[in-house]
Structure formats: C-alpha cells, structure tokens
Amino acid sequence: MDCKPRAKPILLFILLFILSFIRSALLTIHPSNEVNLLDSKASQGELGWISYPSHGWEEISGVDEHYTPIRTFQVCNVMEYSQNNWLRTNWIPRQSAKKIYVELKFTLRDCNSIPLVLGTCKETFNLLYLETDEDQGSRFREHQFSKIDTIAADESFTQMDLGDRILKLNTEVREVGPLTKKGFYLAFQDVGACVALVSVRVYFKLCPFIVRNLASFPDTVPMDSHSLVEVKGSCVNHSKEQEPPRMYCSTEGEWLVPIGKCLCNVGYEERGSSCQACRAGFYKSLLGNVQCSKCPPHSFTHHEGALHCGCEKNYFRADGDPPSMACTRPPSAPRNVISVINETSVILDWSWPEDTGGRKDVTFTVLCKRCRPGQRVCEACRSNVRFLPRAAGLQNTTVTVGDLLAHTNYTFEIEAQNGVSQLAPTMRQYAAVTITTNQAAPSPVTVIRKDRTSRNSISLSWLEPERPNGIILDYEVKYYQKQEQETSYTILRSKGCNVTLSGLKADTSYLLQIRARTAAGYGASSRSFEFETSPDSFSISSESSQVVLIAISSAAAIILLTVLLYIVIGRFCGYRRSKHPDEKRLHFGNGHLRLPGIRTYVDPHTYEDPSQAVHEFAKELDASCIAIDKVVGAGEFGEVCSGRLRLPSKKENCVAIKTLKAGYTDKQRRDFLSEASIMGQFDHPNIIRLEGVVTRSKPVMIVTEYMENGSLDSFLRTHDGQFTVIQLVGMLRGIASGMKYLSDMGYVHRDLAARNILVNSNLVCKVSDFGLSRVLEDDPEAAYTTTGGKIPIRWTAPEAISYRKFSSASDAWSYGIVMWEVMSYGERPYWEMSNQDVILSIEEGYRLPAPMGCPVVLHQLMLHCWQKERSQRPKFTDVVSFLDKLIRNPSSLLALVEDIQGLAESPGEVVDYPMFISIGDWLDSIKMSQYKSSFVAAGFSTLDSVAQMSIEDVRRIGVVLIGHQRRIVSSIQTLRLQLLHQQEKGFHV
Ligand code: ACK
C-alpha cells in the first residue's frame, strides 16, 4: 500500500486531525512563536494614541502588577448619558501577518459599586479596527472602523479592592483576519463604562525556524484559514537527503507531521541537530544516523571524519572485509603433522594452527616437493601426483597424496591460509614433513588357467599381475574346499607362475585365490577361482591304468619317503627349538603353512651361537661414532640415553642408545643383544629402526632411531584431550601397519601395549621392545600365571594367559587394548581391577567400555579384537585397511558411543557381550561398588534408568572424583549399547 501523504490526502487529514490532539506529546510548540506588532507595555514614553473627544480616554502613567511603569488609558464618564469616547492606536504595519491577535488587559468597574449611576453606567466597551495601506496621521473617521467585538469584563473591581491595591485584571484576546492591507489601526469605543486599559498587545503567530531530522525549516507564517502550510526542509551541513524532508505549519504557529529525513554523510555522526566529524580513533563508513564506531582491533585513525580505519603494521584487510571487521593477519603454521605412508601414497593429517590470524576463512594448501639425495634444493612434484580431495583450498585437516614414486623422498609443505595471506607473502608460514615412500604392492593376478586335472590334483598357471610394481618374490596360493567356506584352508607359495595342488579330494570343488609378493609386501588377492577335481569313476584304459597305478605307487613311495624324512628332520629341529614352544610363526586358522624358505622372521635362539645372529642382522658400530647426550630412561639391562650417531660420510642423526650395565652375565648379554637381532630383521616405517650395535667395546650398546616423544602411554597422558580423532586414528593406523608387517614376517610380539610404542616428533608411532625374554623379565606389567609364565595380563588374550597360545591373533587382542589406551589418552585398562578379576570378568564376557568421546566404529573394532574365538579376531591387514577407510572418510568417525542414536546406522556389527542383571552387578564389574547405595538412594534402581543418566546425574548422586565419573559414564554408554542391542534382539531387561 502506498502511504505517501500526497497520494492520500484523506489519510493525511485524518493524521493531522489525530496529531492535533496529541501534539502536546509529539510536536514541538515553539515558546516564542508569537511576533509582536505592538506592545503598549514596551513603551516607556507617551504612546501618542488619539482620543476623541479629548475629554474621553486619557493617557496615564501607572505600574503593572509587577510594579513596572506602564502607560495606560482610562475613561470613566459613568455619570453622563450618551457617551461615545474613542481611542485610536497609531498605524500598525502588518508585516507578513495574515491574521493578527489582539490581547487586551484591562480593569472594568462594576456599576453596582458606583452610587447614582443607574441608567448611565456601562460595563462593556467595543474593539474596532481599520485597514489602510498607509498611515493616515491624525485623520480619524468613526464610520470607517469595523467592529471586532464587544469586550466585557470577567472580573470587575470595587472601591475596596482599590483601597487594598488589589487589581483584578481582565485579559481578553481576539483574532482579526484575514488582513490584506499594509497596516491597520485599532480603536476602543467607550459608551459609558469605567474602564482602564492597562496594556494592548498585537501579534501574529509564526512557525519558527527549526531543525528536525537533520533538516532545517525556516520561519513560516501560517495561513489565515485552517489549512496548513507545507514547508520543505533543507539538509544540514554534511548530510544528505534520504527522503525529502517536509513539515506542515499550522495556523497556531506549530510544526506538524515531520516527513522524510536527512542522513549524516560517511565520516560524520549526528550530534545535537547537526552532523559532526567522527573523532580520531573512530570511523563511520555508512551514510546514516548511526554513531561513529571505535576503530576495530588492530586498526586506527589519527584524523577526524574517517570513513574507515587503517590497519596496524603486519595486519591487513581482505577485499571483502567490512570496515567493522578487525584487521587480521595470515595464520600460523599447521601443527602436529603426521604422515601415514601406504606404499606409494601418504595420508597427511595435521592440527589447526595455533593462531588463525583472527579469521574464520582458514584453508590449507599442500605443496609437494621431491627431494633427491644429495641435492639441497627440492623440485616440485610431477603433475600426475594425485591429491584427494585436492591440494589447495582444503577445509579439513587431512589430505591423501597418491601416485608418488616408490622409494622416493618427498617433502610436503602444508600452509594454512586465510583471506589476507595473499597480502602478506613474507608472513606466510608452513609446516613441513618429509617422508620416504615404500614400494607399491603388486596388483592382483587376474588371469588363471587350469592346465591339468586329476582325481586328487589340479595344475594351474597364471599371468603375472598387470602392475607388478617391483620384482615378484613369490606367489601365495590359498585354496580350500568350497563347502568348507574357508574354515580350513591351505596355503602354498610358488616362485613361478604355476602350481600343482595335490592331495585333493576327488570330485570336489575347490576355491582358490592367488596374491603376489614383492619387497613392498603382498598385493591384493585375486578374485576366487573355482576348480573341480575329477570324479572317482574317471575311466582310464586297463593298460594305462596299470601305468598310472605303477606311477601312483612309485609317487606314493617317494612321498612317503619324503614325509618320513621331513618328520625326522622336523623332530630334530623341533628339539632344538623346543626351548621356545611359543614359536613366532603365523597361524592360519585350521590351515597349514607349506613351502617355507621365503624371508620370514628368524628366531635368534635357533642359532647355535646367538652372537652370530647379532652380527648377521645388526651392523657393528664404532663407539667413537656415538656421542651420548643424556639419560632418558631406564631399561631392564641398563640406562636408555639420547645421543648422536655420526657415521663416516653420513649426516649426524639423533639416536637412542640402550646400554648394558656393567657386571652382566653371559645370558644377560645374550638376551640384551637378542633384541637387536630381532629388530635388525625388520625394515618398516612403523617399527623402530635399528642403527646398529656396539659389542666389541664396552659398554655394549644397541643404537636405534630417536623417538622424540618417547613412549606412547606417557605421551598421551601428558597430552590428554589434545588430539583430533583423526590424529588418534592416524597413530592407531601406524601401529596396525607395523603389526601387519610383523605378522607377515611371522613374528608374534606378545607384549603389544602403549608403553611399548614409541612416538616421534611427527606423531609417527613405531612398535618397539623386541627382547626375547622381556615379556618375562622386563615388563613391569607382566605377572606370573598359573601355567608359570609371566604375562602382562591386561593386554593378553585369554588363550595366551590360559595355555600360552601366543599368535598374531593374540597380538590382535593386545592391539584392541592399545586402541582403548589411545582413545582414553593413556588410561589404565580395567583401571584398578586386580589381574585375577580381569581374568575372571573377561572369562564371563565383560569387555572394556568405550572411552569417552570414542567413535562407535572404533569401539566396535576393539570389541572385534576381543573376540573370545581367536580366529574371529581381525587380521592386521584388515585393521589397516579399515582404519585407512576411516581416515579417508572422517565422517564415519562422527558417531560417538555417547550418541546412541547413531548406532543403528553405524557400519559394522555390534558385538554381543553379556547383559548385567542388576545395578550391583554392573557397578561391581567396573569396580565402583562403593556407589551402589548412592545410585539407589537417587532413584536409579534399574539398568534402564541408569542408561539414561547424564554426567550431571552422575555428579549429582555424589560421584566426585573425575576418574570415577569418567569410568561410570563410559560404562553407561556401553550399557546403552547393550540395552539397544538386546532390544533389537527382542530381549527385555
Ligand atoms: O617414555 P620415555 O621417555 O620413552 O621413557 C622410556 C625409556 O626410554 C625407557 O624405555 C625411552 N626410549 C626408549 N627407546 C627410545 C627411543 N628410541 N627414542 C626415545 N626414547 C626412547 C622411553
């Protein structure tokens, strides 16, 4: 609706009407909106008015009510009949007045108070006027005057009043208009009253000059009629019209209905009714009647009237930044860069910069440089290096870089950028990480051919993988009967592209998968191929059957002989190894390993002379190349120091030095050095690297790479809550990758725990602690079991505790515990529960609840690692690829265990573990029995009600210790998980 007053005169009229009622509240009435044309009081001398006849009105000097001298006129011919006394003012110029007001102040005597005047005395007089264009001097003609009104008194006075000098003054005002001539006279006609004219004031009304809404409106004379005068305002200095300013001048000399307004220019603010320049240190960038604002942080102005503030040194404003925004600067470098190398790709992950420069628009750019050995300057990477999701403008703190060259050094410079980075090229900072890629594993075998089939053997051949990515060391052929569904399988290794599977059942379907192995490890398995052996009734001619029979019998004899030989040799070797029944070899479920001879871990104890093993796997270092700086810890055999290793023609490296304390026995020396013999066999970015040993001088030393952040458990405890989930997963991925390598090598660690993981400055985690006897001796966590072994109970799988069945699957259990340690920032597994209670509750099915803030998927992976049936635990290769998927798809980590709603959709399976029956059982299981009565007293008497509890509830019922609160809350989360799972299965609690 168009509400402009011009367009809707009726509306305006109504508005004016209403406004006229409320004008005292809304409108300003100028106190001096009356302009005098005549004021008799102002004249000190004679007024010189004409009296006719001369004995009528007479001019007298007197005083007013404030005793100010005034000129008055009196007449009091009350005793005589036919009075007609005139008093005429001087000629009064009209000026701009259209309508005038005549204000008379007078006293009039009450006829009753004068004796003997009955019939002649009057109590009124007449007011008249005459308009002329010029002063007519003393010329006076009665009939030319027009009567304005008869004036009567409201009050009269008596003798007594006069005696008391009390004046009863009447005031009467009359309007006269419209006036058209240049001037006028007023006349007072007395017809027999006793009247004293104390003062005469003639004025007109004016709408006076005013500034309203920053527009000035000049003095305006109102109309003589009741219509309003529309007046246009002009904007005050330093302001601009927003909407044309207008007002209306009423006949009463009042300004009505302000419309439109002016706005102060930029750099100026409204002060009083003018626009004033902003003071120094303030600015105004917008047109409008807002106040000047203080310069935002890191900006200033030294002059007045500023439109915006300039930035301090080293602070900037980006193009789109509003003047109200603080000046900002480029962010500091990203922190805690970690790299997870996967063959020829690397996942980089980092933390947000400490200082974002004061901006929210931080993105990250990753620059890839390839560094050749010996060259000081690195060159930009080839353009075919792939960045996922991209190299520049990253909003998340992770990127995957693929298609790198194998065995090549790369440096990645990760720069945090914001909207002002371009403006300050010299202030830009980046974090750099240098990595060396591994070799890419071979691609899968895709073409397999069946060459020959018999009743119990199949000969196959295949083509080399399309991308071998290195020299193929051998192929692994895994096969099993189709109907047995992989529960029992056999693995063969073949150096060439063919193999014969023998000892098969006749007329049976077999499924088979092949994978190639290079120095980079195994490639992905081929898809499953299906083959069938020939049926029993396979018909052959009697002649040939004899030949076949002879051939079979001779083959059987040869096989029998071979088997016998194998058993004899095996026994002999077995005897030598029987000192270590927990042989560190891969276990393949029910399957069996054949064709050894490829590079696997060699147990140093199988050597006649263990020092021979040391020299085979560890480099002897000259003690003069090693400088010890300080002691960083204590090991079982002596001190652990940090220092530097400078090998001839190599650059100096920081190293850790484990020393063997003086006075050792031969056995201690052997055990000490066995760790080097084991470590020296490994070469993996997530396994602590052996630099060498010193055995030819004293002290005997083992020198390894230096890990700046020490052991993982204490590192996490001192950085509680400081990492992103992705960073924690990156660490776990590194550990899993190291463990995959160890399990592929056939090495079972047996003491995998956060205390045995070391962390370097890039947050890369490496598996360490490989001593043979260390599980028995070195580890303070190890305790004697009923079977006599010394075992770190909290980290060890039940079958290893019960009957010393150590395997990569028992390492997987320990890995689950390490996951729990990492996600809880170094919390002690099972808290203060005794070892015996841990064993019992694990046996009863209890599993550690998810630590606070732990993503559902990670807790499920933990639970998967803690499957009672060891064949059902994940292989490390599966763990690595699962964690890689999580890192690539961080949104999968968003659902926390607290976030119970997310569970239904979360990937993976909820592992089944037992339900508690009562609050007491539940609290007992987490060693929090002391709170039983607190729970019950607060009304939490069912598991359902406990599952609804928040951390506030836990605090409210009186759990004060933070550690206890944490334990109870994380256990409540697990309880919810269980309840949900039980409900899904239709159980009622
Ligand atoms: O937690 P830490 O500082 O890290 O204390 C233990 C201590 O020696 C006894 O094992 C530290 N340590 C062991 N190996 C290394 C290494 N390669 N680099 C740095 N510190 C190490 C460990």
CA-closest residue to ligand 1 atom 19: 707
Number of neighbouring beta carbons within 10 Å of residue 802: 14
User: Which atom of ligand 1 is the closest one to the Cα of 755?
Assistant: 1
Q: CA dist 403 to 523, 677, 689, 829, Å?
A: 16, 35, 26, 40
For ligand 1, what atom is nearest to the CA of residue 710?
Answer: 4
Active site residue 321: no
Q: Residue 156: pLDDT band by 50, 70, 90 thresholds?
A: low
* pLDDT of 225 higher than 70: yes
Question: Rounded CA gap, 655 and 676, in Å?
Answer: 14
Would you place residue 84 in the very low, low, confident or very high pLDDT band (cuts 50, 70, 90)? very high
pLDDT beyond 80 at 680 = yes
Top mutation candidate among 636, 639, 640, 719 for ligand 1, by most atoms within 8 Å of CB: 640
Q: Identify the residue whose C-alpha is closest to ligand 1 atom 6.
A: 633
Question: What is the distance in A from the centroid of ligand 1 to the CA of 640?
Answer: 7
Q: Taking residues 501-527, report their average pLDDT.
A: 85
CA distance readout (Å), 267 to 261, 287, 312, 537, 958: 18, 8, 20, 105, 60
For residue 499, give the 3-state DSSP assignment: strand
Whether residue 82 is predicted with pLDDT greater than 90 in this model: the reply is no
What does the pLDDT average to over 375-398? 88
Query: Which atom of ligand 1 is closest in space to residue 705's alpha carbon?
Result: 17
Q: Whose CA is nearest to atom 9 of ligand 1?
A: 633
Residue recorded with tokens 């404003």: 317
Cα dihedral sign, 934-938-943-948 = negative
CA atoms within 13 A on the CB side of 883: 30
**Is the pLDDT assigned to residue 556 strictly greater than 60?**
no
Q: Is pLDDT of 872 > 80?
A: yes
In this prediction, residue 897 has a pLDDT band, given cuts at 50, 70 and 90, of: low
639 CA distance to ligand 1 centroid (A)?
Answer: 10
| pLDDT, position 244 | 93
634 Cα to the center of ligand 1, angstroms: 8
CA of residue 615 to ligand 1 center, whole Å: 24
pLDDT higher than threshold 80 for residue 83 = yes
Pocket of ligand 1 contains residue 759 by CB under 6 Å: no
Per-residue pLDDT tens digits for 657-671: 999 988 888 888 988
**Residue pLDDT, tens place only, 234-261:** 999 999 998 999 999 988 888 888 889 9
Average pLDDT, the chain: 82
CB 707 near ligand 1, within 6 Å: yes
Residues whose CB is less than 8 angstroms from the CB of residue 227 and which lie 6 or more positions away in sequence, other chains included? none
- Contact, 186 vs 89, CB < 8 A? yes
Q: In what helix (H) or strand (E) does residue 759 lie, and over which residues does it extend? A: strand 757-759
Q: Is the CB of 654 under 6 A from ligand 1?
A: no
pLDDT band at 101 (very low <50, low <70, confident <90, very high): very high
Q: Does any ligand 1 atom lie closer than 6 A to the CB of residue 706? A: yes
Of 164-178, 386-400, 836-850, the one with minimum mean pLDDT is: 164-178
**Separation CA 569–CA 637 (nearest Å):** 37
Ligand 1 atom 2, closest CA: 710
Closest CA to 943 of 972, 963, 968: 972
pLDDT at 444: 87
756 within ligand 1 shell (Cβ under 6 A): no
Q: Find the 147 Cα to ligand 1 centroid distance in Å.
A: 120
191 versus 377: which is more confidently predicted?
A: 191
Tell me if 190 sits within 8 A of 120, measured CB to CB. Answer: no
How many angstroms from the chain centroid is the CA of residue 981? 33
What does the alpha-carbon distance between residue 393 and residue 959 come to, in Å, rounded to a whole number?
Answer: 47
Taking the centre of ligand 1 as the mean of its atom positions, its distance from the CA of residue 407, in whole angstroms, is: 28
Question: What's the 757 CA to ligand 1 centre distance in angstroms?
Answer: 9
Pick from 987, 910, 917: which is nearest to 946 by CA?
Answer: 917
How many whole angstroms from 758 Cα to the centroid of ligand 1?
7
User: Mean pLDDT highest for which of 113-117, 127-131, 515-519, 887-891?
Assistant: 127-131
554 Cβ contact list (under 8 Å, min separation 6): none
In this predicted structure, the answer to whether residue 14 has a pLDDT above a threshold of 60 is no
Question: pTM to 2 decimals?
Answer: 0.43
For residue 704 and ligand 1, the question of a CB distance below 6 A is answered with yes
Name the residue at shortest CA distance from atom 3 of ligand 1: 710
Identify the active-site residue in 671, 751, 778, 884.
751
Give the β-pairing of 239-249 and 255-264: antiparallel
Segment 88-115 mean pLDDT: 90
Spacing, Cα 737 to ligand 1 middle (Å)? 21
For a ligand 1 pocket test, name from 707, 716, 751 the mutation site with the most ligand atoms within 8 angstroms of its C-beta: 707
Higher pLDDT, 360 or 948: 360
Residue 712 has a pLDDT of 97
Over residues 907-928, the mean pLDDT reads 60
124 or 907, which is more confident = 124
Helix intervals (H) in 337-460? none
Q: Identify the band that residue 88 occupies on the pLDDT scale cut at 50, 70 and 90.
A: very high
Answer yes or no: is the C-beta of 900 below 6 A from any ligand 1 atom: no
Q: Closest ligand 1 atom, CA of 633?
A: 7
Distances 646 to 45, 616, 623, 654, 761 between C-alpha atoms, Å: 121, 22, 10, 9, 20
Closest C-alpha to ligand 1, atom 21? 710
CB-based contact 314:426 (threshold 8 Å): no
Residue 642 alpha carbon to ligand 1 centre in Å:
9
758 CB near ligand 1 (under 6 Å): yes
How many CB atoms are located within 10 Å of the residue 24 CB? 9
User: Does residue 640's CB lie within 6 angstroms of at least one atom of ligand 1?
Assistant: yes
State how far the Cα of 409 lies from the Cα of 375, in Å rounded to an integer.
Answer: 11
Residue 766 is inside which H or E element, if any?
strand 765-767
Radius of gyration (Cα) for the chain, nearest Å?
54
Backbone φ, ψ for residue 9 (5° rounding):
-60, -30
Does the pLDDT value for residue 713 go beyond 90?
A: yes
CA nearest ligand 1 atom 8, residue: 633
Mean pLDDT of 692-719: 94
How far apart are the C-alpha atoms of 987 and 976, rounded to whole Å? 14
Q: What is the mean pLDDT of residues 279-293?
A: 92
Cβ–ligand 1 contact at 829 (below 6 Å):
no
Kindly state the tokens that stand for 595. 């064709």
Indicate the top mutation candidate among 632, 751, 761 to test ligand 1's pocket, ranked by most ligand atoms within 8 A of CB. 632
Cα–Cα separations (whole angstroms), residue 90 to 73, 188, 450: 14, 12, 140
633 ligand 1 Cβ < 6 A = yes
Q: Return the pLDDT at 585.
A: 28
362 lines ligand 1 (CB under 6 A): no
Query: pLDDT for 170-219, tens place per residue?
Result: 899 999 989 999 999 999 999 999 999 989 999 999 999 999 999 999 99
Which residue's alpha carbon is nearest to atom 7 within ligand 1?
Answer: 633
Is 643 close to ligand 1, i.e. is its CB under 6 Å away?
Answer: no
Whether 80 shows a pLDDT value over 90: the answer reads no
Q: How close is the Cα of 717 to the center of ligand 1, in Å?
A: 15
Q: Which of 758, 759, 760 to mutate to test the pocket of ligand 1 (most atoms within 8 A of CB)?
A: 758
Looking at residue 625, its pLDDT comes to 93
Ligand 1 near 711 CB (within 6 A): yes
Atom of ligand 1 nearest to the CA of 713: 1
Q: Who's near 209: CB < 8 A, 6+ residues apart?
A: 216, 217, 218, 219
In the block, residue with structure tokens 């410079």: 413
Q: Could you give the CA distance from residue 448 to residue 442 in angstroms, rounded to a whole number? A: 16
The pLDDT value recorded for residue 519 is: 63
What is the 505 CA–ligand 1 centroid distance (Å)?
55
Here the contacts of 626-635 (C-beta below 8 Å, separation 24 or greater) are: 626/655, 626/657, 626/694, 626/701, 626/703, 628/657, 632/656, 632/710, 633/710, 635/778
How sure is the predictor about 691, in pLDDT bands with cuts at 50, 70 and 90? very high
% of the chain exceeding 70 in pLDDT: 83
Atom of ligand 1 nearest to the CA of 704: 17
